[in-house]
Structure 1
């Protein structure tokens, strides 16, 4: 029998199709009757914004690659054009399902709960009068329709903006009429307008789409002419940008320059009202140089994600997830001296079940402590009004040596990060942008403190961003420690990021692009050796994505050797489990729930003495080879046992788990006769009461 080639295309799932599969799982949450109704609407909106980003980044990237070399073959054996064809079919199916879920499932359910989206044909006389007044006072002064002719060329259309193509008859005051006009809805306008509940014909939560209001009163924009048709449309553009690190002197200026062009990148998708006449559709497709595979007909608003706005407008607790209060670890409960607590023991936090506040307060205390000499911090995404940035500014103004490695190229956060960098520099902090050619994605904070005439480093390492808001929505681990070897490793990594020199040898940390990938491969090989000797061998991996081919082949070889492999992969997974002779011993599951699963854990049985690592890195080429990442060991036995118990909970989930099949499809985990086990709910009970 010939050995199986582990690089055979049949053993790999296409990464882009896998990403769309994840989005389908998100959309499936909108159909889950066990979830609160407004949360189900949120899942629909999230699936739409995810698809926007998919076209802005992933499809745009494939189109650019096709222009350079259309013959490139993906690991699963597809050319770029074959990938684009399959993605188009899947994306169109997904969009059709989004509108079906909205129109046939959610809108009727919402109406049953007295939340209504009123179409024009359902407006009462009093509602129409109120909306006409709203149009004349709030919309008409700001709207600027453009009649298309030689003096008024087709306007530049902003990325993902709401627009209308309007068909006209008649002549204006100058005797002109090309038959068409374009109206762009300013982004400052709300996409959903709430009717006043005091109106006798209105319910407590009645809403009208901005597009419906404009449709109803569009004639008022063209005095003396007749509007034959008004159809909404939206264009999605390439929003990824490229900065040539070798050809620039100032990264901030280069990123600012690219940001200015993001709204006008190449067109990659056109969404248009499903009722739009074919002639008008063809006109727009020709105008944007798009083919039918990138045309989407919308049976409703062209931007469903904007419906999410009603969530904050409706005070109906019974239609939302119940609130929770994250707990604070006993190590930090009463003792406000973070340094004393960390000296006693390593402290592990599991967000959002445990509060992110200790992380913020740790940096605040460091900024105010007269014995603290220096603070070093990485920032990838942190939010506009970040309390962490405020603390760093306070520390810099107090005369402490504050160094911040801020990643300007964190996609879609570039503008915010540029602003934060400027604020930090104004306060006297040292701000650097990492290493040329590599994004800094590591999550590290280090505080240097003078104690009894000696210097001690305290560090925080995490799997997620230093962002208090997302820390309530994403699951992540964070570790506080003053372990000398680990702290020295962190210091050396910071030195690499801010200075120049050879790669420093690290004691405990694994770091990409140098030791992380080889280190993980070495631990997989160790489990393979154990299995070949007839000993127990196990691997548990929890990440956001599994794409990197060398790692996949190593896991296939581990499965062939008899290693038991359990994987919890939220999004993309190119590995095929359950393939005879290759991956029978691999199980892959995805958890989609209230919180976005974001923790990255690599756990190896290690002969019974589990080696557990947490990381900022997924099993992706970019994380392993094109980013600065850290992977840190969990040293305390209690913390190791705690993480293993958490992983066991994820592997036991029967409520929110989806199991990956060898054909690339996902199926819900079987619940059996017992009540479904939901790991996120159980963790909330355990930590938040």
Structure 2
């Protein structure tokens, strides 16, 4: 069915459906990267950390084009109707180009005018061609001939050699030639592709350069010595370029018998899907740009002229190569939960709350490790979305299966950009005897759940871990997330039923404690917002505080507007995209929205409702996005222990609402204003406070 013929959100006279009340999700997501870039521009942030933020903003922009822009072009082709903001896909794409061009300019100004000179002054030099002395040039030419040239395959363009297929985000040089080669062929254009095996950042030895931390971009070396690849011909110009392609895999799950096999086939061609962006050296002649655009089937609004290396994000390697503690954030030691040597006894005595990265991920690993070895453990069930390379989680699951436990793992093959890794993970688990399930057709399994069934005397007891983040030891050190470990019978039974539903063909289930999308989470959130609305209308105190990564679900936004109109005070802590427009008189004047950008990536989702003095608090794997609430398997789990619930409120809500150092306030016009301490208030950074209070 053509999407344009489907009922539109705008087909209503309801004033709360007015497109003027909604920001565009893609443009809002794009703006998040300006807040990330602001960290790179902040002199209060350690210098190498500023470099890292710059690279994060570049990598985020890459992914934005691969997924969001690529999806929009697909929507444009299919004639999709406008969303709640009233903007057509074509209009959004045009605005993306304008805003992204501003971001790219700001990124390269930050690099060229701020960070690169500051790094140079600190003894970390990224040398351009104009800065190479004679000794450095000789070494780099030798390096080019010995290490780079043997793996290059330059391609001259002529009728026998058409324009080559260019891999997504690969580094390439287009070369303008004059003269004839050995066969008498007239030179014109050639393309030099940099293989993935080549390092994008080259460190010059100290004995050559005189500096311990001197680096050169591969792109600069290729451009400088490209004439060696075309002997007897004159190189008139060499211009680096990079093309970004749509990376959203589309597998018609209803039409395939084997999802894993179909996904493997799709991955083969992912790097060569439709082009969505062309980055090209600033000085490249227009006729060359037109040739590239024609070959990539792109229009002028897809070109970004670059004043520097087209793969600027690769300078992140400098962060890892330079061991200068004074140029990085001070190290910290996460607090380790006492009693981890006996996790079952510890959890049986009371629920355990973990706040990462301030508290170690070790208890989760220990729980699984001990379950794998404990003869009383009969079964283990777990969801895996992202695990990281060489995951100890996977090691423990494999060991559990080898020890005769009944192990079932729901592996989400479609975890974006981790598809290939998860296919390998599934193979390894199956080889060890683990029952691997790929979830539910049409719904990504994004819930974070671990269930352990243990015999204790004459009874079976369920131990559960539920989290807001992935089972990934690496991200647990840099993402803020909550994890709850509990032996509560009701929660255990709920999780058991969800696993039964995922692995079998179970009917709809009724859960006692958990909310689950796509069934009860969306309705549960709306119900609780409506409850606060009714309390406000009855003259009772009413309050909503919610923290998440993104917000765009139209029904939730409308419900929040209605609550605001009724007098409910609403605070939203939304890291990235937010389509709700706060501060509109008569509609959202009671809603405040803030975004926190700090040392760690804000990732936990917490929903808190005042509930007339009996607060209702949930942690969740789900943002308030359409996909999470309606098209994914997600959970929202209550924190039942009053003391632990108070911790969640204090640490993730009240603490973040008090932040006046790393917080940005969203204004009614869509701009974000960075907050700063007022004259009568002390500075307060939410993450720094948690580091001090929890890590010590």
TM norm. shorter chain > 0.5: yes
Q: Is residue 260 of structure 2 the alignment partner of residue 252 of structure 1?
A: yes
Matched with 1:266 is 274
Partner of 1:209: 217
| 1:131-169 residue CA offsets vs partner (Å, 9 max, x unmatched) | 111111100111110011121111100000000100111
CA separation in 1, counterparts of 2:272 and 2:567? 52
Residue 65 in 1 paired to residue 75 in 2?
Answer: yes
Q: Which moves more between the two structures, 467-476 or 281-290?
A: 281-290
Match of 2:674 among 660, 668, 677: 668
How far apart, CA to CA, are the structure 1 residues paired with 2:402 and 2:486?
Answer: 26
Given the alignment of the two structures, is residue 275 of structure 1 paired with residue 280 of structure 2, yes or no? no
Any residues of structure 2 matched to 1:58-457 within 5 Å, and which?
58-69=68-79, 72-199=81-208, 201-329=209-337, 333-334=338-339, 336-457=341-462
CA distance in 1, matches of 2:644, 2:447: 21
Q: Aligned partners of 2:685, 2:60: CA distance in 1, in Å?
A: 24
1:14 partnered with 2:19: no
* In structure 2, distance between residues paired with 1:183 and 1:66: 33
Deviation at 1:599, TM superposition (A): 0.3
CA distance in 1, matches of 2:102, 2:290: 22
Would the aligned equivalents of 1:353 and 1:683 in 2 still touch at CA under 8 Å? yes
8 Å Cα contact 2:340-2:366 kept in structure 1: no
2:687 counterpart residue number: 680
CA distance in 1, matches of 2:33, 2:122: 27
Paired with 1:86 and 1:477, the residues of 2 have a C-alpha distance of: 36
Q: How many angstroms does 1:504 deviate by?
A: 1.3
Which is further off, 228-237 or 116-125?
116-125
How many residues in Structure 1 have an aligned counterpart in Structure 2? 682
CA deviation profile, 1:552-587 (whole Å, cap 9, x unmatched) = 000001011111111100000000111000011111
Partner Cα distance (1:167, 1:232) in 2: 12
Deviation at 1:15, TM superposition (A): 0.4
Asked whether the 8 Å contact 2:609–2:615 carries over to 1, the reply is yes
Is 1:538 the counterpart of 2:543 in the alignment?
A: yes
Identify which of 628, 650, 659 aligns with 1:653: 659
Give the drift of 1:670. Answer: 3.3
Secondary structure of residue in 1 paired with 2:272:
coil
Q: Report the CA distance between 1:501 and its aligned residue.
A: 2.2
Distance 1:177 1:134 in 2: 30
Task: Indicate if the aligned counterparts of 1:127 and 1:202 stay in contact, CA closer than 8 A.
Answer: no
Aligned-partner Cα distance in 2 for 1:261–1:334: 49
Instruction: Give CA deviations for 1:400-419 in whole Å, capped at 9, x if unaligned.
Output: 00000000000000000000
CA distance in 1, matches of 2:507, 2:667: 45
Q: Tell me the C-alpha RMSD between the 2 structures.
A: 1.0
Structure 2 CA distance for aligned equivalents of residues 550 and 121 of structure 1:
57
The partner residue of 2:510 within 505, 508, 521 is 505
Deviation at 1:4, TM superposition (A): 7.2
Q: Residues 218 and 658 (structure 1 numbering): CA distance in 2 closer, same or farther, change over 3 Å? A: same
| Alignment deviations for residues 71-116 of structure 1 (CA, whole Å, 9 cap, x no partner) | x112111111111111110010110111111001111111110111
Runs of 5+ consecutive residues of structure 1 not aligned to the other structure? none
Alpha-carbon distance between aligned partners in 2 of 1:417 and 1:4, rounded to the nearest angstrom: 45
SS, match of residue 534 in structure 1 = coil
